[in-house]
């Protein structure tokens, strides 16, 4: 029986010609190091992300020794209902200008995200490229919800960081 070993790689981010399922770009007027530190601490996302209900730290794994791992509980709106879902996230700063993230969720949903952080004259250009793997019947729904949630999160992150209202944990 083979064992699944997760890696923090998004093929679309590293292979020319492959496109991510969605890409979001924002210029945020803070130093790159400050933005990277924020991106790598999922607890800071709670007030920003529209679905996150709670976050719990998990221990590092042998497969991802440098990543911060979390157990996340979301409440996803579906019509008048809110679907509770629990999943695992890993965030890893792989370089001063790049952060890799992965999320594993049942049933067989996986998001791989690469955050590129480029210094600009006034701050940092953040480019998020997200690749989604999911059952074909769920894929469109997952991509649409993830794109919407990530866009809202980055917009709120930009506002929070630029206003200097960063929560301390």
133 vs 120: CA distance, rounded Å = 32
Give pLDDT, residue 18.
Answer: 58
* CATH code, domain with 119: 3.30.530.20
Mean pLDDT across 102-111: 92
CA nearest to 49, candidates 93, 98, 7, 89: 89
Split into its structural domains, the chain has a count of: 1
Q: Residue 166's pLDDT is what?
A: 66
Identify the pLDDT of residue 146: 93
Domain holding 121, by residue range, is: 19-49+90-162
Give the pLDDT band of residue 6 (cuts 50, 70, 90): very low
DSSP three-state, residue 75: strand
Q: Which two tokens stand for residue 60?
A: 């590092």
Q: Give the mean model confidence (pLDDT) for residues 70-86.
A: 89
Is residue 42 a part of any domain in this protein?
yes
131 Ramachandran zone, left/alpha/beta (phi>0; psi -120 to 50): beta
In a domain, 33, yes or no: yes
Is residue 54 assigned to a domain?
Answer: no
In a domain, 147, yes or no: yes
């Amino acid at each position: 029986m083979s064992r699944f070993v997760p890696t923090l790689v998004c093929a679309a981010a590293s292979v020319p010609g492959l496109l991510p399922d969605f890409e979001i770009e924002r210029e945020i007027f803070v130093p790159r190091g400050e933005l990277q530190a924020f991106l790598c601490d999922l607890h800071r996302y709670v007030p920003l992300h529209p679905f996150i209900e709670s976050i719990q730290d998990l221990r590092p794994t042998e497969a991802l020794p440098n990543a911060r791992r979390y157990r996340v509980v979301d409440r996803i709106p579906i019509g008048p209902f809110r679907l509770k879902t629990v999943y695992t996230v890993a965030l890893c700063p792989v370089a001063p200008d790049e952060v890799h993230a992965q999320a594993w969720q049942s049933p067989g949903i996986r998001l791989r995200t690469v955050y590129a952080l480029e210094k600009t004259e006034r701050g940092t250009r953040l480019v998020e490229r997200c690749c989604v793997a999911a059952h074909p019947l769920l894929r469109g729904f997952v991509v649409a919800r993830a794109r919407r949630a990530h866009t809202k999160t980055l917009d709120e992150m930009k506002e929070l960081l630029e206003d200097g209202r960063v929560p301390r944990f």
